[in-house]
Amino acid sequence: MIFRGIVLLVTLLVVAACGRGGAGGPESAGEPSPDPALVRTAAGMLRGVVADDHRLFAGIPYAAPPLGDLRWRDPQPAPAWDGVRDATAFGPRCMQPLDGDIELGKQTDEDCLSLNVWTPPVRGGEVGEPREAKPVMVWIHGGSFVAGSGGIYDSRRLVSRGDIVVVTINYRLGALGFLAHPALGRPGGVGNYGLADQQAALRWVRDNIAEFGGDPARVTIAGESAGAMSVCDHLVAPGSKGLFDAAIMMSALCQAQLGLPEAEQRSVAYAAGAGCAGPEAARCLRALDANTLRTPVWYYGIGADQLSGPVTGSAALPVAPPDAFAAGDAAEVPVLIGTTRDEWTLFVALQHLRAGKDYEPAEYPGLLADTFGADAPAVEARYPLGAFPDVALAYAATVTDGVLACGGARWARDLGDGADVYFYEFDDRNPPTPDPLRTLPFPVGASHALELRYLFDVGGAPPPDPAQVRLGEQMVDYWAAFVRTGAPRAGGQPDWTEFGPEGRVMSLRPDGSRMSGDFGADHRCAFWDGLR
């Protein structure tokens, strides 16, 4: 409804600005290859690219192409190949809507289940010698489960400065990844095919990452936005048990899954709209041209619109993550979780860019009602329009605080009952931003996804200033330390303590990062917790 299509613009303006990677290569913990550009996997030999500061093996298939009868089925093992497979270019992105696709579908394909392995460089004296296995971070991309890819996250700084291995993955998106039509039933239930792809990628990492110099006993799953919500799901999904040892959730919406009955209802309507109704719906759907399935089943929004993504209530994801967290039924692994200071300003900014106009004061009650339902009057009383410069910033504050900031703090408390949990807030209020976001009538601030360029090499914005460069180095150090040890404690950086009952939060700032106990008060979490 209000946010229909905004997530695609997020991908266009923020994520798609990422640089397309560079070089990389292989290493084997067991029997090292004398050539750092060659590595053998269970399916065959790969040749990657080697650079001075990293190596990259790109476009590696981790599952069979999900085509024909394999469409809307669990991923199957990738077929083996003879000879040496080229791994110097990223594979195609999974099918996604064209209105958020800067390449207009030219680099998308239904055959898209590939991943990319970034490793630290192999020094001259190390070639052919056994090396200590590196911890691994598996990155799950965002894009509201309708857009994005693993190939746009250039991980060279994380692997060179952080001395870890990074794996970025593709997974099925939109209708092809999450259609929950009852005719497509399988043992795990319907829907969640994209989530099953992520699990298949994690099994590939378990079975193959040692050949790249990675340690399969030290695997951290990580993601931002929809990628972070995926991590929420893996913390409670039965099929993900034992596939990872730590978790990073950046701007997670752990509560945004749809229940299976409503997901099935919407999926049946979607199939009927595509001409596939009745008892032959499954056969009909599998016969459709993939281009007719680019449009997601539903777009993400808060309130009336729901998520084109994971659904709860089946064997694959029996319980909603927040409920499992509260019951103590999540994986007991170290967790790094956090938000940005001004999460939702990006979304109201993109709404402004799409519509070419600002929200009017008369629209404010309707915005709140669409988002918060019966709680809207209480929210408006707590966030009166007169306390903000304009409607956009008032509304952004409500969603930032009520949905992301205080939701994240609740999940941190619940998860902290069984594991070590570390919380952060990214608080650079003037980060490098893509061109369109610099023309707004209000500041976008430290908003959703803008912290990604501090971890990954990203283009499309002015270069960071020296203080922002230092903050990026600090964040890489913290994230890499967490991947290595389960605690974001890095030498030469401010000490980062656990979230704990006191709600201690690391405020990541270019003028000096520091621990803070003000997060709950700043985001009015006592008020939001009282609405539950």
Distance, CA of 412 to CA of 227 (rounded, Å): 17
Distance, CA of 52 to CA of 111 (rounded, Å): 32
Question: Buried b vs exposed e over 114-139: b needs ≥16 C-beta within 10 Å?
Answer: bbbbbbbbbeeeeeeeeeebbbbbbb
> Which residues have CB under 8 Å from 124's CB, separation 6+?
none
Q: Which residues pair with 317 in a beta bridge?
A: 314
Tokens of 326: 């509260």
360 classed as catalytic: no
What is the enclosing helix (H) or strand (E) of 271? Answer: helix 260-273
The active-site residue, picked from 149, 448, 513, 523, is 448
Mapping DSSP to helix (H, G, I), strand (E, B) and coil, where does residue 68 land?
helix
How many C-beta atoms surround the C-beta of residue 149 within 10 A? 28
Give the CA-trace dihedral at 493, 253, 191, 153, to 10 degrees. Answer: -40
Contact in structure between 172 and 197 (CB atoms under 8 Å): yes
Q: Which residues pair with 507 in a beta bridge?
A: 425, 514
343 classed as catalytic: yes
| Orientation angle between helical segments 193-208 and 226-236, nearest 10 degrees | 80
The active-site residue, picked from 225, 240, 251, 314, is 225
Mapping DSSP to helix (H, G, I), strand (E, B) and coil, where does residue 513 land?
coil
Distance, CA of 407 to CA of 249 (rounded, Å): 12
Terminal CA-to-CA distance of the chain, rounded, Å? 24
Q: Measure Cα distances from 463 to 446, 458, 466, 469 in Å.
A: 16, 10, 9, 9
Contact in structure between 339 and 407 (CB atoms under 8 Å): no
Fill in the DSSP letter of residue 224: E
DSSP 217-278: EEEEEEEETHHHHHHHHHHH-GGGTTS-SEEEEES--TT--EEHHHHHHHHHHHHHHTT--S
The active-site residue, picked from 211, 224, 343, 425, is 343
Distance, CA of 286 to CA of 385 (rounded, Å): 50
Residue 350 phi, psi dihedral angles, 5° rounding: -70, -35
Closest CA to 114 of 148, 90, 140, 138: 90
448 classed as catalytic: yes
Name the E strands within 437-480: none
Tokens of 319: 């319980």
Mapping DSSP to helix (H, G, I), strand (E, B) and coil, where does residue 517 land?
coil
Fill in the DSSP letter of residue 125: G
Closest CA to 249 of 219, 228, 221: 228
Q: Which residues participate in catalysis according to the annotation?
A: 225, 343, 448
